[in-house]
Chain A
C-alpha cells in the first residue's frame, strides 16, 4: 500500500492538471495546469525508477549492493528540460496575447473563430 502511494499521487496530479486545463478560463492558469500534468508524468517516471535500498549507479567507490537503472531519471530530466522550453514559449505567447488583446480570458480570445 505504502509503495503504491506515489502512483495515487500521480493520478491525483494528472486529474488536477486536466481539470485545470478544462475548467479554468484564465490562460495563465491553463498553462499552469499543463505544467502540473507534466509534473505528474515526471513523478510517474521517478517512481518507476525507485528500488528500495538501491544506490546511485556511479561505479567509482561504489559501496556494493543493488544499483538503480538510470534510464528513468534520464527520461525525467529530458522531460523537465522540454517542459521548461514549452512552458516558456506558452507564457511568452500569453504575454503577446495580453498585449495585443488586453485579456487572458480564453472566452475573449477568439479572433480566429468564424
Chain B
C-alpha cells in the first residue's frame, strides 16, 4: 500500500485533485458540510502527496513517471528506437519546489475559503473550479511534455477565468474574467503555434527529447518568441499586465491568492523553456537581457501604478506585477551569464537562487496579504481605502498578519522578502549596479505604498460605522496563520531554505544535461 503510493505519487498528485474536483458537486448534493469536509479531505491528501513527492525528489533526485509503460520509470521503451513515446511526468528539484509552494498555498487558501466564501449562494461549481485550478498548476509544474504543459495551461486559464468571474458583481467581475480569458486564450494559441513549429521540425513533444535536438534555426527563434510572449502575458509581466489588476481585484480573495500561484506556474514554464528546452543553444545574452528588461519594466511600472490606487486589492495586484519583476530580473541575470562558467558561479547562480527564492516567498507573503485584504473586505464590506479606518482596534490579528505581509513584501528583515531580495541585490550589483539600484528604489516605493495602506486601514480612531466589525472567523485566521508562520520561519532561517530547497532548484534549472540524462538516460 505505502509502496504503491510512493511509486505512484506523481500521478496521484494530479489525479487526486482532479477526481476530487468533479466529485465535489455530487457530494455537495448531500449537504454543504459534506462538501466542505470532502474538499478539506481532498486538499489535505493532495498536500500530503505533494510533500511526499517533493521529499522523494529532494532525496532521490529527479523523479520520472511514465503512464502506461511496463514500469513507471521506463521512459524509453526497448522497441521505440530511443524515443520517449509515452506521456511522462518529470519532476526535478525546481518542479518539486513549485509543488511545495502550490500545495502549501492551496491548503491555506482552501481552509480560508471554507469560511470566507460560505456566504455565497451557489457554491456547486466553486470548489470544482478551485480544485481544478490546483490540479492544473500541479500538472504544469510536473509535466515533462510540452503539449501536456499547454493542456494544463489551458485548464488553468479556464478554471481561473471562471473563478475570477464568479461573483459577477453587476458584470464587473465578468469583465475581469473576460479580459483574463481572452489574454490567456490568445497566449495559449501562440503557445500551440510554437509547439507545432517545434513538432514539425523535430517530431517530438518531450521537452528533453526536443532539447537534445534543438538547433536555433529561424523557426526555433519564432517559436521561442511566441512562447515567451504567451507565458509573460500569463504571468502578468509588463506590457501584458493590464488584466492583472482587474482579475486580482475582482476575484474572491482566496482565489486571488491562488491566482498568484497560477502566475508563478507560468513563470516556471517560461524559465523551463528558456533553460531546459533551449539551454545554451539560444543566444543567452540577448534573451537574458530581454527577460531582465521585462523584469525592470514590471518592477517600475507595477509600483508606480500601485501608489495612486484607492482599492486595496487593486493596489496589491499592481504590487504583484512589480514583485514578478524581481523574479524575472534574478533569473534573467542568471540566463544572461549562462554560458560563462566563471561569471555563473561568481554571481549568476546567486541571482537565480534569489529569483527562485523570491517565487516561493512571493507566493507566501502575497497570498497572506490578499487573505488579509479578503478578511477586511469580508468584515467591512468595502474595498475602498478612503472609507476604511481605525480597524486596528477591532481586527488585531488581521492587523498583525497584514504588518508581517507588508514588511515582507517591502524587503525588511527579518521577514522572507528581505532574504530573497538581498540575494538579488547582491548578485545583480555584480552584474550591473544600475539594475540593483533600480530594484532597491522599487522596494522603498513598495514600503511607502504599504505604509499608506496600513495607515488608512488600521490607524486612527475607531469609526462609528464600524462598531459591529469583529475579528475574522477562525478558519480564515488559521489559513493566514500558516502563511504568516512560513513568512517568519523562512525569514529567520533563510540559509536553511536556500541550502536545502532553493539551491538544488537553481542548479536543476541551470543544469540542462542532468535533466536530459534523467529522462533519456546516459550520454
- The reply to whether A90 and B181 form a contact with Cβ atoms under 8 Å apart is yes
B464 contacts the other chain (Cβ, under 8 Å)?
Answer: no
Contact with A along B174-208 (1 / 0, CB 8 A): 11111001100110110011011001100101000
A19 contacts the other chain (Cβ, under 8 Å)?
Answer: no
- The reply to whether B158 and A41 form a contact with Cβ atoms under 8 Å apart is no
> Which one of B151, B165, B250 contacts A93 once the chains associate, using CB atoms below 8 Å?
B165
- Would A90 and B196 be within 8 Å (CB), given that A82-B154, A97-B171, A101-B171 are in contact? no
Number of A-B contacts (CB under 8 A): 89
A109 contact set on B, CB distance < 8 A: 175
A97 contact set on B, CB distance < 8 A: 171, 174-175, 178
Shortest C-beta distance, B201 to chain A (Å), equals 10
- The reply to whether A86 and B157 form a contact with Cβ atoms under 8 Å apart is yes
B120 contacts the other chain (Cβ, under 8 Å)?
Answer: no
- The reply to whether B200 and A48 form a contact with Cβ atoms under 8 Å apart is yes
CA distance A27 to B182 in the complex (A): 11
| Range, interface on chain B | 35 or more
- Would A41 and B193 be within 8 Å (CB), given that A82-B151, A111-B171 are in contact? yes
- The reply to whether B174 and A85 form a contact with Cβ atoms under 8 Å apart is no
Contact with B along A90-114 (1 / 0, CB 8 A): 1001101101110000000101101
- Would A34 and B196 be within 8 Å (CB), given that A89-B161, A97-B178, A112-B250 are in contact? no
Shortest C-beta distance, A29 to chain B (Å), equals 13
Interface stretch (choices A51-59, A60-68, A72-80): A72-80
A100 contact set on B, CB distance < 8 A: 168, 170-171, 174
A111 contact set on B, CB distance < 8 A: 170-172, 175
| Range, interface on chain A | 20 to 34
- The reply to whether A21 and B158 form a contact with Cβ atoms under 8 Å apart is no
CA distance A86 to B182 in the complex (A): 9
Chain A residue nearest to B204 in the complex (CB): A71
> Which one of A21, A79, A93 contacts B192 once the chains associate, using CB atoms below 8 Å?
A79
B200 contact set on A, CB distance < 8 A: 48
A38 contacts the other chain (Cβ, under 8 Å)?
Answer: yes
Chain B residue nearest to A110 in the complex (CB): B175
CA distance A75 to B194 in the complex (A): 13
Residue among B162, B199, B203, B205 having the largest count of chain A Cβ atoms under 10 Å = B199
Shortest C-beta distance, A113 to chain B (Å), equals 9
CA distance A30 to B186 in the complex (A): 11
B515 contacts the other chain (Cβ, under 8 Å)?
Answer: no
B246 contacts the other chain (Cβ, under 8 Å)?
Answer: yes
> Which one of B151, B154, B196 contacts A41 once the chains associate, using CB atoms below 8 Å?
B196
Residue among A48, A85, A112, A114 having the largest count of chain B Cβ atoms under 10 Å = A112
> Which one of B147, B177, B186 contacts A37 once the chains associate, using CB atoms below 8 Å?
B186
- 29 pairs from A and B in contact (CB 8 Å cutoff): A14-B193, A34-B189, A37-B186, A38-B185, A41-B189, A41-B196, A48-B200, A71-B205, A72-B196, A75-B199, A78-B151, A82-B151, A86-B157, A86-B181, A89-B158, A89-B161, A89-B162, A93-B177, A93-B178, A96-B174, A100-B170, A100-B174, A101-B171, A109-B175, A111-B172, A112-B172, A114-B309, A114-B310, A114-B311
Binding site for A on B (CB under 8 A): 147, 151, 154, 157-158, 161-162, 165, 168, 170-172, 174-178, 181-182, 185-186, 188-189, 192-193, 195-196, 199-200, 203, 205, 246, 250, 309-311, 314
Given A90-B178, A96-B171, A112-B250, 15 new contacts (CB under 8 A):
A41-B193, A45-B192, A75-B195, A85-B158, A86-B158, A86-B188, A89-B158, A89-B161, A89-B181, A93-B161, A93-B174, A100-B170, A100-B171, A109-B175, A112-B172
Binding site for B on A (CB under 8 A): 14, 21, 27, 30, 34, 37-38, 41, 44-45, 48, 69, 71-72, 75, 78-79, 82, 85-86, 89-90, 93-94, 96-97, 99-101, 109, 111-112, 114
